[in-house]
Amino acid sequence: MTINNMYFIANWKMYGNISSIKSINKVVGLTKLQKYSKAKIVYCPPFTILDSFEKKIKKTKISLGAQNCHFVNGYGPCTGYVSAKMLKDIGTKYVIIGHSENRNEGETNFKINLKINSALTSKLNVIFCIGETLKEKKKKKTFKVLSNQIKQGLKNIKIIKNFIIAYEPVWSIGTGIIPSYKELNKNINKIKKIIKPIKNSKKIKIIYGGSVKPSNVKDLSKIPGIDGFLVGGSSINSKKFIDIIKKTIN
């Protein structure tokens, strides 16, 4: 069976330090095997170790991503923040924007839109996170929420290659609970429907995130049109991350 490229994006969140970097040695080894050449592996460690991480993966097939950026590009009086341009300068290729943990702290669709614009201006590949909360799901508002997040987040954005939408139901993140096949399939189709009018929408990759583990990834990868996974907890442990890759591509 020929499969398309599959993304495996490791979101380390606020975990990891310099000594954690060597833990990816086995993942580097995996990328050398022809069998896994379709696995596009991106590591998004915390800002503090991005530069060291870049040095570690420089000559490998692994790409570097950041977990956020400020909406002001270049430089500015923005204490405590990092811009897309600064990320690009140190070799970062991807950036996660709109993660629910940041939305939860007040990041609006409007700001997310500015951040996406800024990231694309700096030629970073965007991993744009969307997803409904449990309350919204229970009120049957999923379609409306996803639609608003996409329409406002992508307002006036020109889609180019390697643009990724990560569908992450908020109730699934870090909880061990994943959507059923039926529900996930339905929501991925909803997303496809929402993005259809956008120019170049076929270039958008759709990945899933939320409690992805070696034990559930095989089922998750059966969803038609899924282009990969955004993995939090299970990406910090290289053995689990490798298992996830191996169970998807076999």
**Which range in 68-76, 103-111, 145-153, 231-239 contacts ligand PGA by CB under 6 A?**
231-239
- Integer Cα distance of 231 and 250 in angstroms: 19
Asked if residue 174 binds ligand PGA (CB under 6 A), the reply is yes
The size of the chain, in residues, is: 250
Asked if residue 210 binds ligand PGA (CB under 6 A), the reply is yes
- Integer Cα distance of 63 and 107 in angstroms: 26
Asked if residue 230 binds ligand PGA (CB under 6 A), the reply is yes
**Which range in 18-26, 45-53, 56-64, 206-214 contacts ligand PGA by CB under 6 A?**
206-214
Residues with a catalytic annotation lie at 99, 168
Distance of closest approach, residue 195 Cβ to ligand PGA, in angstroms = 20
Q: Which of 159, 149, 152, 150 is nearest to 199 (CA)?
A: 159
- Integer Cα distance of 235 and 5 in angstroms: 19
**Which range in 70-78, 146-154, 177-185, 204-212 contacts ligand PGA by CB under 6 A?**
204-212
Structure-block tokens of residue 108: 């609006």
Q: Which of 13, 5, 99 is nearest to 61 (CA)?
A: 5
Distance of closest approach, residue 212 Cβ to ligand PGA, in angstroms = 5
- Integer Cα distance of 233 and 73 in angstroms: 30
Distance of closest approach, residue 75 Cβ to ligand PGA, in angstroms = 29
Task: Give the binding site for ligand PGA (CB under 6 A).
Answer: 11, 168, 173-174, 209-212, 230-234
